[in-house]
Amino acid sequence: MERFAGLPGHDLVRDGLADLARGEETVAALLVSIGAPRLRRLGFDVSSPIADPERRLYLLLAREDQDSAHGRYNALVRRLVSFEQAAERASSCDPSLPRLERPGDERPRGWALP
């Protein structure tokens, strides 16, 4: 996890993984649960993600402040996506980091660098 320390959203993912490991339902744990499939493909150990994390995160934010829940929810998800995208780029540039493997990652035939 510390390899990704400089990436945007690192703090949320780090805290969310720790909260999940302790069995706590926090904003960070719910966010990591939302991103669990993609984070796992990046090599993160996302054990026991929380079920229905999108709904539960929204409800938790609404309990804190109903008027700002929607905007805060969207901002948190954007931070998660920023981290995932930056981690994917870092992984593809650093061979010591896990590489995301999925269909379509290969270059199409005939494709060449200019």
- In terms of pTM, does the model score above 0.85? no
Tokens 């829940």 appear where?
A: 69
Percent of the chain predicted with pLDDT > 70: 80
Could you tell me the two tokens for 53?
A: 């994390």
- List, in sequence order, the alpha helices (H) in 1-114: 10-22, 27-34, 36-41, 53-64, 69-93
Q: What is the pLDDT of residues 60-101, one digit of tens each?
A: 999 999 999 999 999 999 999 999 999 999 887 655 544 444
